[in-house]
Structure 1
Amino acid sequence: MDGSFYGWYMKFQSDTQTLAVIPAVHSTRKKHTCSIQIITDNDAWTVMYTADIFQRTRRNIFIGKNQFGEKGIRLAIQTPKI
């Protein structure tokens, strides 16, 4: 195996809509990156980041200013495509 992927699947659902957010870390022999994938009922996007902005504590995962934890998420994605 040349690479690995480690991600956390978070799903939010109402009676009419579903949102999934997957923060992840990717590693190959030569490259380390992280990403946030956002999936709705109608579309999906992946935003890539450099690995140096990834942090993990006992209760939270951070990709830059984006925060993921047992109490919910906070997204701070700055891209025109989403």
Structure 2
Amino acid sequence: MFAWDVQTDEEDRLVNFFWVDGLGRIDYDCFGDVIIFYTSYHLIKYNLACSPIIGVNNHWKNIILVVAFLSEKIIDSLS
């Protein structure tokens, strides 16, 4: 159930990277009604924003559903 997607630019450099594992998919089905998309943590060396999508489970604990590394915080990076 692991899935990932990579976007590269015209020079074949990494632009965006997205991954989700089986547990994240199952948790999203169960707890996907409250999610947070957080893009404030930056990896300065690589000029990427670490952008986890976090859910809240039935015990009010944060759970990681999906992780993405984005080169820009724009709508096109999310598609």
- By percentage of residues, which structure has more helix? 2
| TM-score computed with the length of structure 2 as normaliser | 0.35
State the TM-score, normalizing by the size of structure 1: 0.35
Say which structure is richer in strand.
1
| More RCO (CA 8 Å, sep 6+) | 2
